[in-house]
Amino acid sequence: MDAEPGPMTLFEKIVARHLLQTPATSARPRPGEGAFVHTDWRFIHEYYTGMAAHALASIFPAGYSIVDAPSIVVFEDHTSYIDESPAHLRLGLVPNVRAMQQAQRDFVAQHGLRFHRTLTDDEARADDGGNVAGISHAMMAEHYALPGQLIVGTDSHTPHSGSLGCVAFGVGTTDMANALVTGAVRMTMPQSVRIELNGPTPAGLSAKDIVLHLLALPYIREGKGVGKVFEFAGSAVSAMSIDERATLTNMTAELGGLTGIVAPDQETARFLAARRGVRLDIAPWMRSDDDATFAHTIAVDCSSLSPMVAAPGDPGNGVPIDTLCAEIAIDIAYGGSCTAGKRDDFDRYHEVLAWGLEHGMRVPSRVRLYLQYGTTAVRDYCLARGYDKTFASAGARILQPSCGACANCGPGSSTAESQVTVSAINRNFPGRSGPGQVWLASPSTVMASALAGKLVSFERLRRELAANRTAAIG
């Protein structure tokens, strides 16, 4: 890479290595300047593929060619449970969704593209383990993305792969249609914000709790992070697994940013070797320079944080759960989505539910608990460890990998305004998961609340049980 001298952020370095030189592009675009970059991976899912195909057919009636087809990945991941989606059934939209799915499958067949489709429950029971599928952005980190790469996808949570030290951001239909036939995408160079997460994290605190804390900060609430790059660093990040880092970068979308990124390190190399069999040395350049320019720095002492929830209506409505004044009963508990459908998340689901069973607890009959895997690899990991038996004993319904209730596309969505859901998903905007009220929480808090039938942290549930048993003995 030949670039103008001067300190650079990791994001700027990756962009510089992917920059397409044009008469209108500077050698090193500054914030606010436009640039074209070539991509290492482009991915798309069923809500966008048909529209992109229609646009290309309209623009090129005589035909067109897809550029570098092996670097395109197509997913059918949002609508796997459309036949159980209350909203789509009520509005009579299921036939339209089926047509949308078929349009994507036709496009895949026409151009010979790589395709991942989540199986139905019946298909999954008959599967010999050969089907590999899941939520698109989770699949990209699990199978494709590598440090230093540039990835675009038709989903706002594309930054999920930034956990591996690559630049990954979402684009719309028009940009993706252009990228399909050029291999390039246009972007406006953003500013970067550095988030320093330091201190030992208390037992039971998760990356989801940290993000909910960040979302409640004035800087974010005032919209100052919109369009920016969030670089996560600090001792707390260094101690996190890649799955936990992915929660941070995934929810950059909720922070308002273009993308999120974590500099790759030995944990990144370990993850790639263990999960994907990829042996990779982390190059010295894969870090921000010490004197790189950041528009703002947010410093958080993670040792002072506690489990969080975000009240219905906005992910930024975060408060420490133990500060809630009133007891809040729940009707639905949902664990899954790209944000919370990873291995580490299911470790937490299992930990809490197994503890509950050991202490004579299971999910109350009035509460419906759903657990939805993020990918088939996560499902297979859980099955190999016998987690499914614990989940079934606790009273959970297990769902195949899909966006599902997170996108109001399947079981776990509410059906009435009076219903209260505690969910590990990333958004709780009105109507996001049905007409009811959605509280956001970490995987541990969602499971503890499911067992208790009310909003409660795992730590508090354990304290309450111990106190009740002490009082009974006394």
Q: What is the CA radius of gyration of the chain?
A: 22
Q: Which of 185, 191, 180, 181 is nearest to 168 (CA)?
A: 185
CATH number of 189-304: 3.40.1060.10
Tell me the C-alpha distance between 271 and 267, whole Å: 6
pLDDT tens digits, one per residue of 7-66: 999 999 999 999 998 887 778 899 999 999 999 999 999 999 999 999 999 999 999 999
Handedness of CA 412, 417, 421, 426 (dihedral sign): positive
Cβ–Cβ < 8 Å for 255, 214: yes
Mean pLDDT of the region 174-182 = 97
Is pLDDT above 60 for 1? no
379, HSE (Cβ side, Cα atoms, 13 Å)? 26
Please give the single-letter amino acid code of residue 117: R
- Whole-number pLDDT of residue 472: 76
Q: Where exactly does CATH 3.40.1060.10 map onto the chain? A: 189-304
d(CA 346, CA 422): 16
**Higher per-residue confidence, 124 vs 286:** 286
Confirm or reject CATH 3.30.499.10 for domain 38-185, answering yes or no. yes
Percent of the chain with pLDDT over 70: 99
pTM for the whole structure: 0.95
Mean pLDDT (whole number) for 129-156: 95
Question: For the chain, what is the mean pLDDT?
Answer: 95
Residue 303 pLDDT exceeds 50: yes
Q: List where CATH 3.30.499.10 sits in the chain.
A: 38-185, 308-473
pLDDT digits (tens, 9 = 90+) for 373-413: 999 999 999 999 999 999 999 999 999 999 989 999 899 99
CA–CA separation, 181 and 451 (whole Å): 51
Is residue 37 a contact partner of residue 19, using CB atoms and an 8 Å limit?
yes
DSSP string, 7-30: ---HHHHHHHHTEEP-TT--SSPP
What distance in Å separates the CA atoms of residue 207 and residue 205, rounded to the nearest whole number? 7
Fold of the domain built from segment(s) 308-473 = Aconitase; domain 3 (3.30.499)
Q: Could you tell me if 288 and 231 are in contact, meaning their C-beta atoms sit under 8 angstroms apart?
A: yes
Q: Model confidence over 326-373: pLDDT tens digits? A: 999 999 999 999 999 999 999 999 999 999 999 999 999 999 999 999
